[in-house]
Structure 1
Amino acid sequence: MTDRKYWMDTLVRIAHPVLDALSERRLRTVMPVEALKEGRSDYTYLEALGRTLAGIAPWLETGPRTGDEGELRDHMAAMVRRAIDAATDPASPDFMNFDKGGQPLVDAAFLANAVLRAPNELYEQLEPKVKENLISALLATRVIRPAFSNWLLFSAMIEAALYRIGAQWDRMRIDYALRQHEQWYAGDGVYGDGPAFHWDYYNSFVIQPMLVEVLDAVHDQYGDWSDLRSKVQTRAVRYAAVQERLISPEGTFPPIGRSLAYRFGAFQHLSLMALREQLPEELEPAQVRCALTAVMKRQIEMPGTFDDNGWLRIGFAGSQPEIGEEYISTGSLYLCTTVFLALGLPPEADFWQGEADWSARKIWSGGEAPRDKAISG
């Protein structure tokens, strides 16, 4: 099996239960809600949708249109559009919560991020009424006040998506998020999560990808946004280099910080930079693919990762419910799909060609030992 087929099959294995059930308006009926704290059923379904779509979107948008993969892509894209309809239709039994509590802001932002990543498949091809419902759902989140942390980017992402699809948008929510994250930049390609720096993977789960993609969408609106975009992209390249070096020769990575139940979603940023073909010069695309594939195999093939019906279970390496924070539930786990962003690259891209050892594997084998270097800006 080629790595591309392994990635595709694994993505579909993870995403299919969510999208199949929601497309048939029976997600609330069949999806389990594993959580350490009661009350997560108010949020878990939107979590499952937004996070799954954030990961699958590039493949839907630019994946093959012919052959077996093309047929599968077409099938999944149609299923996703039905799922968006079911989630945003007030008459649907699976109509989702976009305005009660704080959590809906997070996962509406992942849904908005998916729309930015696949505007044709996830917006232009929607029926007019579904477009209206989607916009209404995104606008409904404005009643939620974001925490003074990476959450500012959730508000910014929603506004960026509204701008790109031609809806009414709020520049101030974007400007505030951008200004604050510039103040929270800690150096050497890493941002604080709010005023404090945290040893976790939120630079990859949220901060770096959303900064890059929000600025992609709106940078031409103001000169200082355009200037900031170039700095953000330089830092993003450096952080990708750091992420690649975190992957051990065995395909493991440090279990540091919170939200470890997102598993290999910790490498969303590295996969995004591969998708954008903006990897550091010292990294071959193939070595990044091989490193990410090794991580996928270590985690997805651990016994207990899925329940008997194919739903993800809380854990980092298999089923480990104790590793989930109080905000973690079944739907949360689908942020792991963001590691598959590079499936948006065509099969003939350099990323999918050949085999190559990644940095830690080279160094720990006693072979080539490429030097690492910080950036100053």
Structure 2
Amino acid sequence: MTTAGTLAAHSLPAPDHVLSPYTGWTRAHWEHLADRMLDAVHRHATPRQALIHLPGPMSASGHHSDGLEGYARTFLLAAFRIAGARGADSTGALCERYAEGLTAGTDPASPERWPRLSQCGQAKVEAASIALALHETRPWIWDRLDARVQSNVVAWLAEMVGARVPDNNWVWFQAIVEAFLRSVGGPWQPADIEHTRDRTEAWYAGSGWYSDGADTPAPYRNFDHYSGWAMQLYPLWYCRMSGELAEPGLADRYRLRLRAYLTDLQYLVGADGAPLHQGRSLTYRYATAAPFWCGLLFDAGALSPGLTRRTASGMLRHFSDRDSLDENGLLPLGWYAAHPPIRQNYSGPASPYWASKAFAGLLLPADHPAWTADEEPLPVERGDFVRTLHAPGWIASGTRADGIVRIANHGTDHADHGDVSGHAYDPCYSRWAYSTAAGPELGGPGPVADSHGITRPATPDLDLPGGGPLDSHVALLDAEGRPSHRRPLLRLAVEGPAASSRHRARWPQGPDTERPESATAPLLTTASVLRGPWEVRVVRVDDIPGGDPGTRLRIGGWALAHSQPPATELTTSRAVALTSDGLRAEAAALYGPLVAGIRTSSGRTSYGAHAATVYLHTLQPVRPGELHIAAIALGRALPPVPAVRVLDDAEVQILWPDGHSDVLRLDRPPTPTHSEGL
């Protein structure tokens, strides 16, 4: 732990290892951290508190919008703190501060007035946080505002009524705002609510999971933490805000889905509290705890109070112990400490404060079992597991010995149906594997502002050494050695310990270009079988049309990162990276003419300044139909490398060191069948 983390730990309340044997954390720790965060941002507020301008590069929406974002997202945190204490303001001035900000922000004549929703798209996002916060603090803030200020607030929010919003989780920002407006006698439009409900139904993928937008037929491919911190949270909060005005049966429907979702989600948390490092907006880090608290807030009945607090406290402590707050008490853009490559074009200095959603548990009273029950162990602490997550197309493997969870991904790439553009994809979606202990290498410094102050999106994979992805990836290499990309993929099968998918290899050159011949690019079928810390990854190139030169194959293992360069070991058929604290990554050739390699890098992952990526590759072009099989591992005390027996060009038997065996068939038709742009 570095100096900042040590100072933060020393200022925390004393741990209670009787009530909380896994984390030591109690409600007092949550309150303390919330107060520290609110105190730190207050120092960056404008004189009348309406804008909070935190240090850092601005977003694509500009400085003015970023100031509103600072107010709105921290108001959400303040609201949970105020309402959770039933108005008892331990910081001294939270209610007055945020009420004054409302007054100035919604006054058209104020120099601190907020951007209008009709002029700034990002303001629609922030309006939802303000509406939700006003609902939760109504007795202490809204009810005490004078009629003129209330009228100004309603007028500012009212531009959301009938407005167009992106076809994804943003539809719920509209519903949340209109639920609040309806509750205070303001304007609202039934058609907006109906549209939100209808789109949500269209994105429901089963087992509690939602795809975040995209007008695609099943199986969906847009899965990430938004399924929990947005698509599960807002529907039930809409019902909470609407009360008896909510549509009959709606809360029960959403509650059942949250229950199913949490039943899966608990398997994606490491024993150290780390959530799965996958998807966009990872700088919101604490927000990964929000759906767990929602399970209790909305009576979903999925996880016990003791397991809920153990999970949420484990997550918050995981980040707190790793310097998620800087020396000034601010949340920088990053996963732990500041990490510029994690930025996206919509990321501003205050964007990380959607982390406020994690503190929703403070709305549960201090005598609720969520705060009084003994902590219970996570699934990965109870024993090894392999779990099939059908909706996102993932197989998850957790190992009790090291507390790590890994997934094999054969269903998620965040591509719309029919997208054959070959555009560079976000590395946090289309890799073959993700985990709670390692993250993908990210290219470039993140989005940057040009000479006109306009933020341009990065091309995170194209900026990587060699012009494309390596870690947890499968690629064909073209004549210049550039690796192909995976998107769009076609899910074939996700069942038991195995999953498989198929895709055309494409070589994007930038955000809007691709190699002309990519429409007839080679077709790859890949499959993964998981057991313990090992993944056996099978690759077959099914066709190579037109003599395409990109026929050498590369199979990437984990990017192992640490504050110090990992030690490495390399033989012809095996690559090993090892950190000083014992975390180990391996890639071993099991079948086919694969040769091992290791690439080192700096500043590319969220897990440490120095990384080593293990991989396997062929020195000669591959032939259509031949199999290449690798064993990929991430863990601490690794068991021996598994073996394989190739039965034919579509069937492989995996022989595990504990005597267990699995049989994998590559040629399984997708269900339902559709072209997926292939």
What's the TM-score, normalizing by structure 2?
Answer: 0.50
The Cα RMSD (Å) is 2.8
Cα distance change, pair 150–245 in 1 and its aligned pair in 2 (3 A): same
User: What is the rounded CA distance, in whole Å, between the counterparts of 2:40 and 2:189 in structure 1?
Assistant: 35
Matched, 1:89 2:111: no
User: What is the rounded CA distance, in whole Å, between the counterparts of 2:312 and 2:377 in structure 1?
Assistant: 9
Determine if contact 2:49/2:101 at 8 Å carries over to the other structure.
no
What residue number does 2:97 align with? 79
Paired AA for residue 76 in structure 1: L
2:236 corresponds to which of 209, 212, 234: 212
Paired AA for residue 214 in structure 1: Y
Cα distance change, pair 229–28 in 1 and its aligned pair in 2 (3 A): closer
Name the stretch that deviates more: 340-349 or 19-28.
Answer: 19-28
What residue number does 2:351 align with? 332
What residue number does 1:11 align with? 34
1:149 corresponds to which of 162, 165, 168: 168
Determine if contact 1:21/1:27 at 8 Å carries over to the other structure.
no
Once the two structures are TM-superposed, the CA of residue 168 in structure 1 deviates from its matched residue by 1.8
User: What is the rounded CA distance, in whole Å, between the counterparts of 2:51 and 2:243 in structure 1?
Assistant: 39
Determine if contact 1:23/1:82 at 8 Å carries over to the other structure.
no
Cα distance change, pair 28–180 in 1 and its aligned pair in 2 (3 A): closer
2:210 corresponds to which of 191, 207, 214: 191
Determine if contact 1:199/1:256 at 8 Å carries over to the other structure.
no
Name the stretch that deviates more: 40-49 or 313-322.
Answer: 40-49
Determine if contact 1:153/1:211 at 8 Å carries over to the other structure.
yes
User: What is the rounded CA distance, in whole Å, between the counterparts of 2:327 and 2:274 in structure 1?
Assistant: 25
2:311 corresponds to which of 266, 291, 305: 291
Determine if contact 2:161/2:188 at 8 Å carries over to the other structure.
no
User: What is the rounded CA distance, in whole Å, between the counterparts of 1:33 and 1:373 in structure 2?
Assistant: 38
Kindly provide the CA deviation profile for residues 58-89 of structure 1, in whole angstroms up to 9, marking residues without a partner as x: 33224256xxxx34066322322222223222
Cα distance change, pair 129–307 in 1 and its aligned pair in 2 (3 A): farther
SS at match of 1:339: helix
User: What is the rounded CA distance, in whole Å, between the counterparts of 2:166 and 2:270 in structure 1?
Assistant: 34
Within-5 A mapping of 1:172-187: 172-187=191-206
Aligned residues: 362
2:283 corresponds to which of 261, 264, 271: 261
What residue number does 2:540 align with? none
Matched, 1:47 2:54: no
Cα distance change, pair 85–346 in 1 and its aligned pair in 2 (3 A): same
User: What is the rounded CA distance, in whole Å, between the counterparts of 2:47 and 2:256 in structure 1?
Assistant: 43
User: What is the rounded CA distance, in whole Å, between the counterparts of 1:64 and 1:228 in structure 2?
Assistant: 28
Determine if contact 1:243/1:267 at 8 Å carries over to the other structure.
no
Paired AA for residue 102 in structure 1: G
What residue number does 1:246 align with? 268
Paired AA for residue 253 in structure 1: P
Kindly provide the CA deviation profile for residues 139-167 of structure 1, in whole angstroms up to 9, marking residues without a partner as x: 13447520111111111111111001121
User: What is the rounded CA distance, in whole Å, between the counterparts of 2:291 and 2:124 in structure 1?
Assistant: 21
Within-5 A mapping of 1:62-77: 62-64=84-86, 70-72=88-90, 75-77=93-95
SS at match of 2:139: helix
Once the two structures are TM-superposed, the CA of residue 109 in structure 1 deviates from its matched residue by 1.3
Matched, 1:237 2:237: no
User: What is the rounded CA distance, in whole Å, between the counterparts of 1:344 and 1:29 in structure 2?
Assistant: 24
Paired AA for residue 234 in structure 2: M
SS at match of 1:17: helix
Determine if contact 2:106/2:156 at 8 Å carries over to the other structure.
yes
What residue number does 1:227 align with? 249
Determine if contact 2:50/2:71 at 8 Å carries over to the other structure.
no
User: What is the rounded CA distance, in whole Å, between the counterparts of 2:293 and 2:341 in structure 1?
Assistant: 28
User: What is the rounded CA distance, in whole Å, between the counterparts of 2:92 and 2:364 in structure 1?
Assistant: 16
Cα distance change, pair 88–7 in 1 and its aligned pair in 2 (3 A): same
Determine if contact 2:104/2:110 at 8 Å carries over to the other structure.
yes
Paired AA for residue 151 in structure 1: W
Determine if contact 2:319/2:336 at 8 Å carries over to the other structure.
yes
User: What is the rounded CA distance, in whole Å, between the counterparts of 1:46 and 1:309 in structure 2?
Assistant: 21
Once the two structures are TM-superposed, the CA of residue 10 in structure 1 deviates from its matched residue by 0.8
Determine if contact 1:244/1:288 at 8 Å carries over to the other structure.
no
Determine if contact 2:89/2:95 at 8 Å carries over to the other structure.
no
Matched, 1:311 2:330: yes
Determine if contact 1:18/1:27 at 8 Å carries over to the other structure.
no
Determine if contact 1:63/1:73 at 8 Å carries over to the other structure.
no
Structure with a larger share of its residues in helix: 1
What residue number does 2:225 align with? 201
RCO higher in structure (CA 8 A, sep ≥6): 1
User: What is the rounded CA distance, in whole Å, between the counterparts of 2:283 and 2:347 in structure 1?
Assistant: 8
Cα distance change, pair 17–97 in 1 and its aligned pair in 2 (3 A): farther
User: What is the rounded CA distance, in whole Å, between the counterparts of 2:367 and 2:268 in structure 1?
Assistant: 27
Cα distance change, pair 48–22 in 1 and its aligned pair in 2 (3 A): same
User: What is the rounded CA distance, in whole Å, between the counterparts of 2:188 and 2:50 in structure 1?
Assistant: 31
Percent of counterpart pairs with the same letter? 23
Q: Which has the larger Rg? A: 2
Matched, 1:105 2:124: yes
Determine if contact 2:49/2:97 at 8 Å carries over to the other structure.
no
Paired AA for residue 275 in structure 1: L
What residue number does 2:600 align with? none
What's the TM-score, normalizing by structure 1?
Answer: 0.86
Kindly provide the CA deviation profile for residues 186-218 of structure 1, in whole angstroms up to 9, marking residues without a partner as x: 100011212344221112222111111223344
Cα distance change, pair 20–275 in 1 and its aligned pair in 2 (3 A): farther
Once the two structures are TM-superposed, the CA of residue 313 in structure 1 deviates from its matched residue by 0.8
User: What is the rounded CA distance, in whole Å, between the counterparts of 2:203 and 2:190 in structure 1?
Assistant: 20
Once the two structures are TM-superposed, the CA of residue 323 in structure 1 deviates from its matched residue by 0.6
Matched, 1:160 2:182: no
Give structure 2 stretches of 5+ with no counterpart: 1-12, 14-24, 392-678
Once the two structures are TM-superposed, the CA of residue 270 in structure 1 deviates from its matched residue by 1.5
Once the two structures are TM-superposed, the CA of residue 326 in structure 1 deviates from its matched residue by 1.0
Name the stretch that deviates more: 286-295 or 181-190.
Answer: 286-295
Once the two structures are TM-superposed, the CA of residue 268 in structure 1 deviates from its matched residue by 1.6
What residue number does 2:145 align with? 126
Once the two structures are TM-superposed, the CA of residue 374 in structure 1 deviates from its matched residue by 8.9
Once the two structures are TM-superposed, the CA of residue 260 in structure 1 deviates from its matched residue by 0.2
Matched, 1:25 2:48: yes
Paired AA for residue 81 in structure 2: W
Kindly provide the CA deviation profile for residues 110-163 of structure 1, in whole angstroms up to 9, marking residues without a partner as x: 211222333223421222222112111101344752011111111111111100
User: What is the rounded CA distance, in whole Å, between the counterparts of 1:39 and 1:168 in structure 2?
Assistant: 27
Give structure 1 stretches of 5+ with no counterpart: none
